[in-house]
């Protein structure tokens, strides 16, 4: 079905008049409609045009959806897509160069899975406005041309039970990484039961091997309640170190995180992990150790892949895939430790808000989503 842009503009301004908004000139670049999904994409030239179509509180686009009897209307600005397109091209260049430079060292499964990622990145670039992960994988599953899956696990996915890591696990499975999911378990102060429910449900549905690794957070929790530092940074570092160690010990070359900010050249990197050695291990090392330093460094390397960032995924894209797996939804960050720190030391909210603003500036979060997250900090006071 083709929608006439002028007729659509007249309809939008009619709704604006009826609900007391002023009539405005709006530039629409393109209108796309998916008949099978009953979804419409309205692409505007810039964000002010987007805001005019959405209207205060979403009233205009809500009425438009009802009157056109369309299941879902997505209003996006072309200026935002230009930024996303630029970042995806940077990721594509980085992934291509990384694979070409390391093809002699990559095992076959890793090589194929990374090329599958490159493939979907190209397809998303070709369908910049309307690419939908769920529809894409659904069509792929129903065709005889699905992605090849590695024979042995080529990636560890750090799985917390939130939407970002859940999205990463789904993608890793669909792209053929044959992943293992690892959850760092410090207890319910950081990993509440509703997150465990999501983890257990998702790994069962995807048929992915999973392991909880218990980690002592008592020192981190104790220091968090001194009010001297924000807990998220140290928590992330512990998780990274634990997952890297597991990958090295189990000879799995890639570690996947749900990081959404490390786009472009930072979407895939090599990490050298300095694993601590016990005194007994050090005593057993002979005088030939120095000649083995280079080999030791090489053996302690893992590939870090920030999967959502490599595809410049937004939170809304993330949720449009994970919603089909019936996972529990959480308001805010969902970490009990963080909320307790906020309650005892209100000044710590400043650093949490800075993190939200970083994601908003990057286009990962819409302003309304960011406002909901910030507001969630104050509704728990």
C-alpha 306/C-alpha 258 separation (Å) is 6
The answer to whether the CB of 178 falls within 8 A of the CB of 150 is yes
Torsion of CA 265, 242, 149, 197, to 10 degrees: -110
Confidence (pLDDT) at 3:
73
Predicted local distance difference test score (pLDDT) of residue 298: 57
- Alpha-carbon distance 236 to 251, whole Å? 22
pLDDT of residue 300: 86
List of the chain residues with pLDDT < 50: 277-297
End-to-end CA distance of the chain: 50
What is the model's pLDDT at position 303?
Answer: 95
For residue range 331-351, what is the model confidence (pLDDT) as tens digits? 767 789 998 999 999 999 999
Which tokens belong to 312? Answer: 């410049």
3-state secondary structure string across the chain: CCCCHHHHHHHHHHHHHHCCCCCCCCCEEEEEEECCCCEEEEEECCHHHHHHHHCHHHHHHHHHHHHHCCCEEEEEEHHHHHHHHHHHHHHHHHHHHHHHHHCCCCCHHHHHHHHHHHHHHHHHHHCCCCCCHHHHHHHHHCCCCCCCCCCCCCEEEECCCCHHHHHHHHHHHHCCCCCEEEEEECCCCCCCHHHHHHHHHHHHHHCCCEEEEECCCHHHHHHHCCCCCCHHHHHHHHHHHHHHHHHHHCCCCEEEECCCCCCHHHCEEEEECCCCCCHHHHHHCCHHHHHHHHHHHHHCEEEEEEHHHHCCCCHHHHHHHHHHHCCCCCCCCCCHHHHHHHHHCHHHHHHHHHHHHHHHHCCCCCHHHHHHHHHHHHHCC
- The whole-number pLDDT of residue 143 equals 82
According to the model, what pLDDT value does residue 279 have? 42
What is the model's pLDDT at position 116? 96
Query: What is the set of domains in the chain, with CATH numbers?
Result: 5-80 (3.30.300.20), 106-113+149-327 (3.40.50.620)
CA separation (Å) from 173 to 113, 169, 170, 176, 347? 10, 6, 5, 5, 40
pLDDT at 319: 86
| Distance from C-alpha of 335 to C-alpha of 332, rounded to nearest angstrom | 8
The model's pTM is 0.85
Q: What is the pLDDT of residue 26?
A: 93
């Amino acid at each position: 079905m083709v929608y006439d842009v002028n007729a659509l503009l007249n309809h939008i301004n009619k709704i604006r008049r009826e609900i007391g908004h002023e009539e405005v000139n709006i530039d629409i670049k393109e209108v796309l409609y998916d008949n099978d999904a009953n979804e419409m994409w309205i692409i505007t030239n810039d964000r002010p045009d987007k805001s005019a179509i959405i209207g205060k509180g979403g009233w205009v686009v809500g009425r438009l959806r009802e009157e056109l009897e369309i299941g879902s209307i997505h209003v996006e600005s072309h200026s935002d897509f230009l930024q996303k397109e630029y970042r995806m091209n940077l990721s594509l260049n980085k992934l291509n160069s990384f694979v070409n430079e390391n093809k002699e060292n990559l095992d076959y499964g890793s090589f194929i899975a990374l090329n599958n990622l490159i493939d979907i990145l190209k397809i998303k670039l070709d369908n910049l406005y309307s690419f939908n992960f769920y529809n894409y994988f659904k069509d792929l599953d129903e065709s005889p041309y699905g992605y090849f899956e590695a024979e042995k696990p080529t990636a560890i996915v750090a799985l917390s039970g939130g939407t970002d890591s859940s999205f990463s696990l789904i993608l890793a499975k669909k792209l053929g990484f044959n992943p293992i999911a690892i959850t760092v378990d410090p207890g319910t102060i950081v990993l509440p039961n509703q997150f465990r429910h999501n983890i257990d449900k998702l790994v069962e549905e995807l048929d992915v091997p999973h392991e909880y690794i218990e980690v002592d957070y008592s020192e981190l929790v104790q220091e968090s309640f001194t009010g001297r530092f924000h807990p998220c940074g140290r928590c992330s570092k512990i998780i990274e170190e634990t997952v890297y160690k597991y990958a090295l010990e189990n000879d799995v070359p890639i570690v996947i995180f749900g990081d959404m900010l490390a786009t472009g050249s930072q979407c895939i990197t090599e990490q050298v992990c300095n694993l601590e050695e016990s005194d007994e291990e050090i005593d057993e090392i002979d005088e030939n150790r120095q000649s083995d330093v280079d080999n030791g460094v090489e053996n302690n390397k893992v590939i870090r892949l920030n999967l959502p960032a490599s595809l410049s995924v937004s939170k809304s894209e993330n949720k449009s895939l994970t919603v089909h797996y019936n996972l529990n939804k959480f308001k805010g960050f969902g970490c009990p430790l963080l909320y307790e720190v906020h309650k005892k030391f209100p000044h710590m909210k400043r650093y949490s808000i800075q993190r939200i603003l970083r994601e908003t500036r990057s286009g990962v979060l819409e302003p309304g989503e960011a406002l909901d997250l910030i507001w969630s900090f104050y509704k728990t006071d």
